[in-house]
Amino acid sequence: MRTPLDPDMFDPVCPSGLSPVRVGDKWAGMVIRCLEHGPRRFSELRVPLRGVTAKALTKSLRGLERDGLVARTVHPGPARHVEYGLTPLGRSLLAPMAAMCAWAQEHWDELLDAREAAASPGRAA
C-alpha cells in the first residue's frame, strides 16, 4: 500500500502560483509533483489538488500525456481502474522543477511586490 498524498502539500499561497515559469498549464507542475513518488489514481490527485475541477484536471492530464510526460495505465479486471504515472521524460523534469521552486521561494517577496504593484489602481501606464 502506498502512502496517501498529503492534502496540504500545496499551500493556497504556495510559491508555485507565483512562479513566472510554468510547465504546461496552471496545474501541470503540481500534477507532476503529485506523481513524483509513483503512479496515482485520479481520485488520489484530487486530494492535494482540491482547488482544481475534474474537467481541468482531466485536461491537464491529457496534455501531460500528449507531451509524453505522463503515462495513463488502465488496469483491467473486476476492479478496473486507471493510474497516471511519470514517464522517464516526465521524471527528468523533477530536478529543474525543484530548482524553479527554490528560486520562487528565494524571490517570494519580490514576486509579491511586483504583482501587487502591477495590480494597484494608481499604476502608471
Is residue 63 situated within a structural domain?
A: yes
> 5 in a domain, yes or no?
no
Q: Does residue 55 sit within a domain?
A: yes
Does residue 75 sit within a domain?
yes
Predicted confidence at residue 123, as pLDDT, reads 60
- CATH, residue 48: 1.10.10.10
Which residues of the chain are under the pLDDT cut of 50?
A: 15
7: in domain = no
| Residue 92 domain-assigned (yes or no) | yes
Q: What is the predicted pLDDT for the residue at 10?
A: 67
Domain that holds residue 24: 15-119
The secondary structure of the chain in percent helix, strand, coil, rounded to multiples of 5, reads: 45, 10, 45
Q: What is the pLDDT of residue 92?
A: 95
Does residue 81 sit within a domain? yes
pLDDT confidence of residue 38: 95
| 8 part of a folded domain | no
